[in-house]
Structures are given as structure tokens and as C-alpha cells.
């Protein structure tokens, strides 16, 4: 059976991604399953690692990708939770951009009711990240005023819905004026990032989810309510254009503020950050988060699906801010 993979062999622009095919001779172990991929989710982190700016990425060459959906084609002798032919989704710690997977059965879940295979591939990262941000770090409550950066992206769309479910007042930022309507369609208030930053009447937020790092952290910290929480999950500010830009990364690092404990004490605010990958293979955490997948009320928005062969166009599409919601790769011919 052929396994097609998309590989980062060298850091650089999207056109440097390499596609290779080889005979897959892996034997499915007793506690494993083989999955034929239907879709792979693309995340902003894939762009960051392709540019060589992602600290936790494996050494080159490697296959990026954190999530897939597909069909189970073989199960190990100890596996009782899944059956051949079942539609599933799976989190992958890298390696997701491939047409075949052999995965431990615990990483693979039956599709929640009402989700298509495409929607399922858009779930693992957006759901786990949004859940951690809103329910574990922020502990949001009805009436909270919250601000989400990159509200139009995969995580943003999921987080807007989760926060609305709880009854929060949700504000979303975008850098693209034409996407404001998209944010408003989720019942949130939309602002350009520059409108927010240049007008300090936008303040008193109980929670802000930051995804760009750098000086945006200082501005957002100042706009928190008392007991307000700021959580940082990304460094999008460091990414400019399709090319690796170390200067831009350094600028973002240098402009990221320090938050001494005495300052936080005097100003009665909280600052945190997290990496969802750290929770991914932690069984008690996953047992706590994954059952919530079956709660109604959240659905990913699929902005565009590219053929796997067109992965370079898919990355360019995301990097040039054309995307809304989630961008996927399809492995069907």
C-alpha cells in the first residue's frame, strides 16, 4: 500500500514542501489501528515550523500536521473501541500530512454525531485549544466580556462559538476589513486589530486570547478589567510574508513585555500562556476534555479544501490572510 507524505526537508517558502510516496510496510501492533486519511487539518503552527521558527518541531526532514480524519482499515488484536470501516478523527503529534497512518488506538476517536469527515479533521486542535483557553485558563462565565485575536481563524471560530454558548459578550479581532461580517455572523462584535489598538475605549475585558505576541501583549494587558486574564498562545506577529524572517521574530521577542509578579499584584491581573501539545498525550487531561466533543453548539467552519498535492497553494492561501475558518488537505483523488 502506497503512503504519500508531505515533508519539510528544508526551511523556507511553501514551494519548498516536498511530496513523496513509498510502500507502507508498517505492521499494525496489538494496540494500534491503521487509518486511511480523508483530510488533514492545516494549522498556523505548520507555517511557523515550515519557516523553521517553531521550537518544538522534530529535526528535519519531518512530516508536519497535528490532525486527520479518515477510515479505519485495520485494527490490532487488543483494540475493542474501533471497528474496520469506521469513520474517525485523530490527533497526531506531527506526521498528520500523510495518506496512511498507523496510530495507537487511544489517539483515534469515532466521529462525533452530526460531523462530516471534513469537519472532523478541523476539530482536534481547534477544540482542544479553545477548550483549554476558555474553560481551563480563563474559566469563563456568563456575562464575561472577552476578546479573541485571530477570531476568523480555525481556533477563533471555535472559541467564538464556545464563548457564546456560555453567554459571554464576545469581541473578535481581524486584520482584514472584509472579514468583519464573518465575525459578526457568530454573534460577536468585530474590530480591526488597528481599530482596537488605536482606541482605548475598547477596554475592561475579563479575558483576552492573544495570538500575536510582541507589543500587542502590552496593549491588551492594559485593556483588562480588574481580575482580568490575558493568555498568549501564538507569535503571529513574527510571521511576515511567506519567507522565514528572523528579524521579525527577534522584534516580536524583544517587544514582548515582562510581567513582574509585583506589577501583577498591584494591578490585580493575570497573565498566562500554554501549548496545547503539552496536554495531547496526557491521558487524564484528554479524559477531561474529549467527552465535551459530543456537547452540541460548536461546529468548525471549513473555509477551503485543497488537494494534498496543492499543499503549497494551501499554505500560501493561509499566509496571505485569504482564509476564513479552517483550511484542509484532501487525500481523495
Ligand X SMILES: NC(=O)c1ccc[n+]([C@@H]2O[C@H](COP(=O)([O-])OP(=O)(O)OC[C@H]3O[C@@H](n4cnc5c(N)ncnc54)[C@H](OP(=O)(O)O)[C@@H]3O)[C@@H](O)[C@H]2O)c1
Could you say which residues in the range 197-226 bind ligand X, by CB under 6 A?
Answer: 211
Residue span binding ligand X (CB under 6 A) among the ranges 85-93, 140-148, 163-171, 270-278: 270-278
Q: Does 154 bind ligand X (CB under 6 A)?
A: yes
The full 3-state SS of the chain, as one line of letters, equals CEEEEEEECCCCCHHHCEEEEEECCCCCCCCEEEEEEEEEEECHHHHHHHCCCCCCCCCCCECCCCEEEEEEEEECCCCCCCCCCCEEEEECCCCCCECEEEEEHHHEEECCCCCCHHHHHCCHHHHHHHHHHHHHHCCCCCCCEEEECCCCEHHHHHHHHHHHHHCCEEEEEECCHHHHHHHHCCCCEEEEHHHHHHCCCCCCEEEEEECCCCCHHHHHHHCEEEEEEEEECCCHHHCCCCCCCHHHHHHHHHHCCCCCHHHHHHHCCEEEECCCHHHHCCHHHHHHHHHHHHCCCCCCCEEEEEEHHHHHHHHHHHHCCCCCEEEEEECCC
Asked if residue 255 binds ligand X (CB under 6 A), the reply is no
Which one of 95-103, 214-222, 258-266, 272-280 is the stretch in contact with ligand X (CB under 6 A)? Answer: 272-280
One character per residue 84-123, x = contact with ligand X (rule: CB under 6 A): ----------------------------------------
**Which one among 146, 323, 328, 329 touches ligand X, defined by CB under 6 A?**
323
Site pattern 127..146 for ligand X (x: CB under 6 A): --x-----------------
Choice from 276, 298, 308, 328 touching ligand X (CB under 6 A): 276
Residue 44 binding ligand X, by CB under 6 A: yes
Give the nearer residue to ligand X in terms of CB position, either 100 or 150: 150
In angstroms, what is the minimal distance from the CB of 43 to ligand X?
4
Using CB under 6 A, list all residues that contact ligand X. 43-45, 125, 129, 150, 152-156, 174-176, 179, 211, 233-234, 236, 239, 274-276, 318-319, 321, 323
Amino acid at each position: 500500500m502506497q503512503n504519500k507524505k508531505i515533508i519539510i526537508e528544508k526551511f523556507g517558502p511553501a514551494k519548498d514542501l516536498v511530496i513523496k510516496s513509498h510502500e507502507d510496510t508498517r505492521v499494525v501492533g496489538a494496540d494500534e489501528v491503521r487509518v486511511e486519511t480523508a483530510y488533514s487539518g492545516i494549522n498556523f503552527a505548520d507555517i511557523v515550523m515550515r519557516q523553521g521558527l517553531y521550537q518544538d518541531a522534530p529535526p528535519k526532514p519531518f512530516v508536519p500536521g497535528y490532525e486527520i480524519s479518515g477510515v479505519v482499515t485495520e485494527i490490532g488484536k487488543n483494540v475493542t473501541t474501533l471497528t474496520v470501516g469506521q469513520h474517525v478523527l485523530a490527533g497526531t503529534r506531527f506526521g498528520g500530512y500523510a495518506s496512511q497512518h498507523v496510530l495507537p488506538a487511544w489517539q483515534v476517536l469515532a466521529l462525533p454525531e452530526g460531523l462530516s469527515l471534513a469537519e472532523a479533521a478541523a476539530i482536534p486542535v481547534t477544540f482542544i485549544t479553545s477548550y483549554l483557553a476558555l474553560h481551563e485558563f480563563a474559566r469563563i462565565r456568563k456575562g464575561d466580556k472577552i476578546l479573541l485575536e485571530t477570531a476568523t481563524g480555525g481556533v477563533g471560530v471555535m472559541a467564538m462559538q464556545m464563548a457564546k454558548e456560555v453567554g459571554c459578550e464576545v469581541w473578535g479581532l481581524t486584520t482584514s476589513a472584509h472579514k468583519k461580517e464573518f465575525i459578526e455572523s457568530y454573534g460577536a462584535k468585530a474590530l480591526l486589530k488597528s481599530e482596537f489598538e488605536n482606541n482605548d475605549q475598547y477596554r475592561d475585558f475579563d479575558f483576552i486570547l492573544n495570538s500575536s505576541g510582541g507589543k500587542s501583549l502590552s496593549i491588551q494587558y492594559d485593556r483588562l478589567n480588574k481580575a482580568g486574564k490575558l493568555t498568549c498562545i501564538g507569535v503571529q506577529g513574527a510571521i511576515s510574508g511567506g519567507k522565514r524572517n528572523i528579524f521579525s521574530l527577534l522584534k516580536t521577542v524583544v517587544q514582548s513585555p515582562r510581567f513582574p509578579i509585583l506589577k501583577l499584584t498591584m494591578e490585580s491581573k493575570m497573565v498566562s500562556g500554554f501549548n496545547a501539545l503539552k496536554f495531547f498525550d496526557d491521558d487524564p487531561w484528554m479524559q477531561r476534555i474529549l467527552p465535551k466533543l459530543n456537547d452540541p453548539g460548536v461546529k468548525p467552519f471549513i473555509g477551503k479544501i485543497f488537494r494534498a498535492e496543492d499543499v503549497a497553494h494551501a499554505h500560501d492561501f493561509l499566509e496571505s490572510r485569504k482564509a476564513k475558518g479552517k483550511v484542509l488537505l484532501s487525500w481523495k483523488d
